[in-house]
Structure 1
Amino acid sequence: MTTIAQSTPTALGGPHFGGLTDRMAAWREEILDTEPSVCVERAVITTQTYRDNADQPLDMVRALMLKNVLERMTIYIEPASRLAGNQASANRAAPIMPEYAMDWVIDELDEFDKRPGDRFTISEEAKQTLREIAPFWRGRTLKEHALALMPADAKRFYDLGIIHPEGNITSGDAHIAVNYRRLLADGLATYRRRAQEGLDALDLTDPAQLEQAPFYRSLIVVFDAVIAFAHRYADLAEQLAAAETAPERQAELREMARVLRVVPEHPATTFHEAVQSIWLVHVALQIESNGHSLSYGRLDQYLWPFLREDLEAGRETDASATELLTNLWLKTFTVNKIRSWSHTRFSAGSPLYQNVTIGGQHADGSDAVNHLSYLIITSVAQTHLPQPNLTVRYHHGLSDNFMNEAIELMRLGTGMPAFNSDEVIIPSLIERGVAPEDAHDYSAIGCVEVAVPGRWGYRCTGMSFLNFPKALLVALNDGVDPASGTRLAPACGHLRDMTSFDQVMSAWDSTIREFQRNCIVLDAACDLALEHQVPDLLCSGLVDDCIGRGKTLKEGGAVYDFVSGLQVGIANLGDSLAAIKKVVFEDHAITGAQLWEALQSDFAGEEGERIRKLLVAAPKYGNDDDYVDDLLVRAYATDIDEIFKYKNSRYGRGPIGGTYYAGTSSISANVPQGASTAATPDGRHAGQPLAEGCSPSHGADVNGPTAVFKSVSKLETDRITGGVLLNQKVNPQILAKPEDRAKLIAMLRAFFNRLRGFHVQYNVVDRAVLLDAQAHPEQHRDLIVRVAGYSAFFVVLSKQTQDDIIARTEQTL
């Protein structure tokens, strides 16, 4: 049985969950004291690999890149850790990955440590190294190739910031969970054997099969590389054990070495082996590609058999298993990513969206909650970090006891767990063609989006953020962007000349269809560039059935492949349409010309403010008012209908699907997209944040949380399979009493069971605390908030994002 240090309850886990063990608590403080930095090791090794292997097929170049990085990068084992594996040369260091983009890296080198949020330190030596390798990448990066693939008409939307696909042309894809269940059962040696068998079976006289040969040879290279990576850590653990004077730690290091010589090469046989196997592969995937939302899937399902057996055999206790889980979360938090500043504003707080999903149902519909599900909640409570991103799968059979545990965690103010509803998601997936047993095995990926772990292609959520309010302004301006004067949609009349609200809706319909069509064009350009420039061999090899098909994920290797769009400013659209309809065309309080003039002046002067007040007084989404809710559903349906027309680049190449559907997982894009959007007819001033996800606009939802639930439930959630993201904010005192927590559980059950809600998550935080944290950040280092579909430390956010969170409506029960 593993020996653990004495547990010391802290304020982080609270009396309900207890505290971290002494060594994990001390290590947590050390990690939080570590400033995020920039690591150039991967950039240097990658550049050398690409330069030295220019004559090799791209799959092999990518495989050799990963092999060389895993062989040569700095490795270490922290004194407190029972798990080995690091992403960069130091914890919280973000590697630079030059094959994706280098222009913004060089342009922003001197600004990394001066940012208003998400700062990174970087040495002058590291800056010089990056400047020296940058010329090699000129004309070779993913970003350059993606931009070159964008047709001029569609690229206007990118250049004007109306459609924002930057995240996936400056980094990898990810938004995926590999088949960890199969990894633990088979081990990488079995994967390697399958790749060798695939290679041996090829008829090389067939050009199509000859083309697959580099893929199989590359898989063998990466599987061997990850096995060798584990053995490097085994060697290091043995060296540390030889120098260790404390008997307990010496034994622990020797056990780590033994484990690392078993996994991930071979099947796991113990809980410790299973956790180490998934962690080492997880971090190798992070090193291969810096795409975010690389998730763990249904951790409580595939790890529980190992823990159950260890508990029965006395090899583990609840305490030792919980410590190992907290160890995993601390390691998970050490992973970091640096983004361009323009894209950082869309992902404020440096989130990696590494999601863990618990609960839900088995394939037969029975409750899947087990003992490990509870321990995962406890471990997340004790570590009190924004990673991992914890999701509970709700279904009608979920017990009140487990719901109470989830709400106890929620009370700690981590913004977790989020709830995703089996009642909506499973039928929606089945309707899309997902087999029922696979649909029952779905997990959250990143934020609110969902996929079947190990059987789904990249990026189940979209890469292009589509600004609904800006699209409406273009529709009202005869198809011309008011800011630039650029025509972006067919001529559809101007608001000044419209004589009926039907003309407004007709203009919206034609404009949003054109916007959505161009969104698909940009998405396809990004997809093709990713396929041609940065195939990820390790990730492809761990997803069914890339090995069987001889294809990477981007070539159609996965069983399923659906992608959602990302629509931003949902509530602003509904509120704007309601205001136009009521104030201009029903009440005749102002003319269309007066409204347009007020929007162009940002409601300047007494007249502008008079008009703004009329607009603000119009019906608002989030109050169970059919007047506005029905308008929003009607307007959104046009966009959804248009999305359903299109196919992604994997269509017809193997996967079930290959199509698009809608999604509202806008992360923190509402802030920068609001900053670039003029005043809107809902009374919102120019530059103010848009509403996030499908949540109501700040302060607009005045009829309480039940009304919000009813408004959201009117959306076509069965067609918004990419996620219907709802954030709610409550004061901690609201959940202080058991009867109040019971009331929240009853309300959640009604939302999911009766109203067919898709998702909800809670910020449980006092507004006064947030304001104090702005004024005295050094006193609130542990303050976590839910930004969108993810959580982040409040004090690392820019003031603009902090203000957006403070302004959200605080609900009562």
Structure 2
Amino acid sequence: MATALLTQKYTNDVQTNSQKHFGYLTPRMYAYRDKVLNKKPYIDAQRALLATEAYRKYQAQPVVLKRAYMLKNILAKMSLYIDDETLIVGNQASGDKDAPIFPEYTLEFVLDELDKFEKRDGDVFYITEETKQQLKKIAPFWEQNNLRAHADTMLPKEVQVYMQTGFFGMEGKMNSGDAHLAVNYQKLLKLGLVGFEEQTKKAKANLDLTKPDSLDKYHFYDAILIVIEAVKDYAHRFAKLARAQAKTASNQRQKELLQIAATCDRVPYYPAQTFAEAVQAVWFIQCILQIESNGHSLSYGRLDQYLYPYMKADLDAGIETEASVVERLTNLWIKTLTINKVRSQAHTFSSAGSPLYQNVTIGGQTRDKQDAVNQLSFLVLKSVAQAHLPQPNLTVRYHANLNPAFMNEAIEVMKLGFGMPAFNNDEVIIPSFIKKGVKKADAYDYSAIGCVETAVPGKWGYRCTGMSYMNFPRILLIAMNRGIDKTSGERFAPDYGYFPEMKSYAELKEAWDKTVRYLTKMSVIVENAVDLTSEREVPDILCSALTDDCIKRGKHIGLICSL
């Protein structure tokens, strides 16, 4: 949109909504939001090409090293850009909202839909002829060399019928990587990646290589060191780009670009010292985790808790104002919206809108059971209200002693009508965690990590939870028909009865209960097969390094979560 037209649009919006409770985006963030929202999403082959290059070169290496070299190759060679409006840098693909391809998970649906992406009813993606040819060229290498193919061979014959007939909607797991978690951002900001690097080197030095399992740990530690160096170099590439752009920028933008460069020189490798550095460090990791893996629901955790000390220090020092904090937060939310993921058309029928479920949690209680609401909690609400975007998801942790003014502000955000925030009830969730054996301090530190799931940030996560998508009405028909599926004609369950011969609804209920239990068991078998394949084929090294105990145990997150 031309600058003059955009300026007039901004002026009109402000005048029309002059009493808006939460105020307005700054003109630059308004322009940035408009730019990203109106950007056409393209299929981006660059990541796929670079991943293929690395997999070919390092195919004989242990899988953890192959994955580390893959991420290193991508971060070193992928296209970088800095939007004119932004104060935060880091991109997942070659353009805002473009969707990178992850061939190590699957290329099957991508190749099937090359000529259909632009014709979908929803989640439309554009694709150039050059991109189509690039993806076709690498396809033979991945044909039997991806997560989906390996998962198919792992499935026992007892569950093949459910996959062949599409009864279990497992695509979200078989085409995706680790997700539904929040890494330990608080620890990252405090130590920097250099702190994780030091821990890894120490753990590696202490290995007894005469023990067989030490060899796997040795390679895992090397993989972490490779990835940390790759992330540092990625940030330094942005520092170099910012300085190059500063040479021809206006005075104000030149100053901003030089500050961006100085920030990228430090974070995320070194500990954050300012609010701006902390936000940039968090964004770098949030973005790179979604370059490493295509799992969704990579969440920010309790952002108002771990960013608050940096904000308060900068406010007290006069480095930041509340207005500048809100602008940087809205910038972060717009950057969050630039992350994208392409799903198959079949998957979009249940997950339309390209949801990524990147959740931000605010409010709740501290580990010592005090109300955790702080000044930043209010500013997050304000920034989300101003941005008015579908990403990130915002969750407020509610409890009996929640600051009433904060609760009222959360309700004001709800009244804006864009589905934010969701509420998680501490009075229910915390006791349930403790009952499951979670330490009390950790239970009080939980966050939302997707659409509805909860976990302790940096402690554990899930893959694509609940993705079997069993059709309960269809199961009822199976229970009524001697275990035979009416749609496919295949036997899906044992014969627990035939409805015309049943004498009471109690008999039907019993048949239903047995059928559901049987099919749930079958779905667990399928999920186990996919999880095992994921652990063995596509471990996520950076994600593992930033999750507690992975370095200590010398195991990546897939293996830790399966213990």
TM-score band (shorter)?
A: over 0.9
Match of 2:462 among 458, 466, 470: 458
Rounded Cα–Cα distance in structure 2 between residues aligned with 1:346 and 1:552: 31
Rounded Cα–Cα distance in structure 1 between residues aligned with 2:225 and 2:414: 44
Match of 2:28 among 23, 41, 50: 23
Deviations 1:299-326 (A, max 9, x none): 0000001101111110000000000000
Match of 1:170 among 152, 171, 175: 175
Q: Does 1:78 align with 2:83?
A: yes
Give the aligned partner of residue 94 of structure 2: 89
Detail structure 1 runs of 4+ shifted over 4 Å in the superposition. Answer: 11-14
Match of 1:514 among 501, 515, 518: 518
Give the aligned partner of residue 331 of structure 1: 335
Aligned AA (1:68): N
Aligned AA (2:386): Q
Q: Does 1:32 align with 2:3?
A: no
Deviation (angstroms), 1:13: 9.9
Count of residues paired in the alignment: 553
Q: Does 1:223 align with 2:228?
A: yes
Rounded Cα–Cα distance in structure 1 between residues aligned with 2:336 and 2:296: 12
Question: Per the alignment, in what secondary structure is the counterpart of residue 113 of structure 2?
Answer: helix
Give the aligned partner of residue 550 of structure 1: 554
1:376/1:310 CA distance change after superposition, 3 Å: same
1:502/1:283 CA distance change after superposition, 3 Å: same
Match of 1:291 among 282, 285, 295: 295
Q: Which has the higher contact order (CA 8 A, sep 6+)?
A: 2
Rounded Cα–Cα distance in structure 1 between residues aligned with 2:265 and 2:17: 35
Match of 1:530 among 528, 531, 534: 534
Deviation (angstroms), 1:495: 1.0
Question: Per the alignment, in what secondary structure is the counterpart of residue 239 of structure 1?
Answer: helix
Deviation (angstroms), 1:412: 1.1
Q: Does 1:143 align with 2:148?
A: yes
Contact 1:449/1:460, CA 8 A, preserved across alignment:
no
Rounded Cα–Cα distance in structure 2 between residues aligned with 1:444 and 1:512: 29
Q: How does 1:347-746 map to 2 (within 5 A)?
A: 347-459=351-463, 461-556=465-560, 561=561, 650=562, 653=563
Rounded Cα–Cα distance in structure 2 between residues aligned with 1:101 and 1:303: 37
Deviation (angstroms), 1:12: 8.1
Kindly name which structure, 1 or 2, has the bigger radius of gyration based on alpha carbons: 1
1:12/1:51 CA distance change after superposition, 3 Å: farther
Contact 1:75/1:233, CA 8 A, preserved across alignment:
yes
What is the root-mean-square deviation in Å for CA atoms of aligned residues? 1.4
Aligned AA (1:36): P
Give the aligned partner of residue 4 of structure 2: none
Contact 2:295/2:463, CA 8 A, preserved across alignment:
no
**TM-score, normalising length: structure 2:** 0.96
Deviations 1:755-799 (A, max 9, x none): xxxxxxxxxxxxxxxxxxxxxxxxxxxxxxxxxxxxxxxxxxxxx
Deviation (angstroms), 1:163: 1.8
Contact 2:297/2:359, CA 8 A, preserved across alignment:
yes
Deviation (angstroms), 1:460: 7.5
Deviation (angstroms), 1:14: 6.4
Rounded Cα–Cα distance in structure 1 between residues aligned with 2:548 and 2:105: 26
Question: Per the alignment, in what secondary structure is the counterpart of residue 223 of structure 2?
Answer: helix
Contact 1:450/1:460, CA 8 A, preserved across alignment:
no
Deviation (angstroms), 1:492: 0.9
Contact 2:182/2:300, CA 8 A, preserved across alignment:
yes
Rounded Cα–Cα distance in structure 1 between residues aligned with 2:367 and 2:18: 33
Match of 1:108 among 113, 125, 130: 113
Deviation (angstroms), 1:153: 2.0
Give the aligned partner of residue 3 of structure 2: none
Rounded Cα–Cα distance in structure 1 between residues aligned with 2:476 and 2:178: 30
1:97/1:69 CA distance change after superposition, 3 Å: same
Deviations 1:226-260 (A, max 9, x none): 0111100011111111221x211111111111111
Aligned AA (2:298): L
Question: Per the alignment, in what secondary structure is the counterpart of residue 17 of structure 1?
Answer: coil
Deviations 1:103-152 (A, max 9, x none): 11111100001000000000001000000100111110100111111112
Rounded Cα–Cα distance in structure 1 between residues aligned with 2:436 and 2:474: 30
Q: Does 1:211 align with 2:235?
A: no
Rounded Cα–Cα distance in structure 1 between residues aligned with 2:107 and 2:137: 12
Aligned AA (1:453): P
Note the residue ranges of structure 2 that are not aligned, 5 or more in a row: 1-6
Question: Per the alignment, in what secondary structure is the counterpart of residue 552 of structure 2?
Answer: helix
Aligned AA (2:236): H
Give the aligned partner of residue 123 of structure 1: 128
Aligned AA (2:242): A
Question: Per the alignment, in what secondary structure is the counterpart of residue 503 of structure 1?
Answer: helix
Q: Does 1:318 align with 2:322?
A: yes
Rounded Cα–Cα distance in structure 1 between residues aligned with 2:160 and 2:188: 41
Rounded Cα–Cα distance in structure 1 between residues aligned with 2:18 and 2:244: 35
Match of 2:158 among 144, 149, 153: 153
Q: Does 1:196 align with 2:229?
A: no
Q: How does 1:220-259 map to 2 (within 5 A)?
A: 220-244=225-249, 246-259=250-263
Contact 2:182/2:461, CA 8 A, preserved across alignment:
no
Rounded Cα–Cα distance in structure 2 between residues aligned with 1:369 and 1:468: 41
Percent identity, aligned pairs only, is: 52
Identify which range, 460-469 or 116-125, moves more after superposition. Answer: 460-469
Deviation (angstroms), 1:441: 0.5
Contact 1:13/1:19, CA 8 A, preserved across alignment:
no
Question: Per the alignment, in what secondary structure is the counterpart of residue 289 of structure 2?
Answer: helix
Deviations 1:549-601 (A, max 9, x none): 00001111xxxx4xxxxxxxxxxxxxxxxxxxxxxxxxxxxxxxxxxxxxxxx
Rounded Cα–Cα distance in structure 2 between residues aligned with 1:441 and 1:297: 9
Rounded Cα–Cα distance in structure 2 between residues aligned with 1:240 and 1:172: 35
Aligned AA (1:294): L
Deviations 1:582-623 (A, max 9, x none): xxxxxxxxxxxxxxxxxxxxxxxxxxxxxxxxxxxxxxxxxx
